[in-house]
């Protein structure tokens, strides 16, 4: 009976593991991509970001091609593509956003729990920020659905609450936006993501100030 109990515990542990565990080398690549992304996004002058994100997108694509089963790298390839699109701006960025959307949809099929459901958050942010038909695929209802998935997986997370707060602010749902942004600011630090966390919290404080002004 004891051996059966231990076996059932082992099976439960195996079932709760990610579908694909990154190797040490892949984890190092992922951390390098995350660190470089934060440096570009929060430290480089705006005029230099487009080219820097383009180079990082190429580096991330090469890493993904070498490890096509690494869902975490696929998610970050999409994140880099979408922020590159944001730096590029205009209709010329739409092809990058569509590519990012495809990567995130594939990531959800592979492992929707990867990086604490980050693919849901990233895809939701595309759906509410991209123009709707006939220009793009923007869809606020779809964004709201994706945010609910993201927040079920990572209810206290910095990124899902920040982007959800921004989404709610744009919808003029100020009380709900205030709650989400306050939760984002209370989120725990992420190991090795100090620069990204500091930058995101600064963005959250700026949005929260806008919300508070609207609520007066």
The reported pTM is: 0.89
Say how far residue 185 (Cα) sits from the centre of its chain: 16
Contact 37, 80 (CB under 8 A): yes
Q: For residues 213 and 196, what is the distance between their CA atoms, to the nearest angstrom? A: 26
Return the DSSP state at 102: H
Digit-by-digit pLDDT tens for the chain (216 residues) are: 333 333 333 333 333 333 347 999 999 999 999 999 999 999 999 999 999 999 999 999 999 999 999 999 999 999 999 999 999 998 889 999 999 999 999 999 999 999 999 999 999 999 999 999 988 999 999 999 999 999 999 999 999 999 999 999 999 999 999 999 999 999 999 999 999 999 999 999 999 999 999 998
């Amino acid at each position: 009976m004891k051996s059966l109990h231990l076996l059932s515990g082992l099976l439960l542990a195996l079932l709760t593991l990610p579908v694909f565990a990154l190797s040490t080398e892949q984890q190092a690549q992922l951390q390098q991509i995350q660190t470089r992304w934060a440096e570009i996004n929060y430290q480089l002058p705006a005029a230099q970001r487009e080219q820097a994100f383009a180079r990082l997108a190429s580096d991330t694509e090469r890493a993904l091609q070498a490890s096509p089963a690494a869902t975490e790298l696929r998610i970050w390839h999409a994140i880099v593509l979408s922020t590159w699109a944001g730096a590029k701006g205009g209709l010329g960025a739409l092809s990058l956003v569509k590519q990012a959307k495809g990567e995130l949809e594939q990531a959800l099929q592979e492992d929707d729990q990867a990086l604490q459901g980050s693919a849901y958050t990233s895809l939701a942010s595309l759906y509410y920020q991209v123009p709707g038909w006939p220009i793009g695929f923007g869809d606020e209802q779809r964004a709201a659905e994706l945010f609910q998935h993201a927040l079920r997986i990572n209810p206290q997370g910095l990124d899902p609450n920040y982007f959800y707060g921004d989404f709610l602010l744009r919808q003029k749902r100020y009380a709900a936006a205030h709650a989400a942004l306050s939760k984002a600011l209370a989120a725990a630090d992420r190991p090795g993501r100090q620069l990204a966390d500091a930058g995101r919290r600064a963005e959250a404080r700026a949005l929260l100030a806008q919300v508070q002004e609207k609520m007066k």
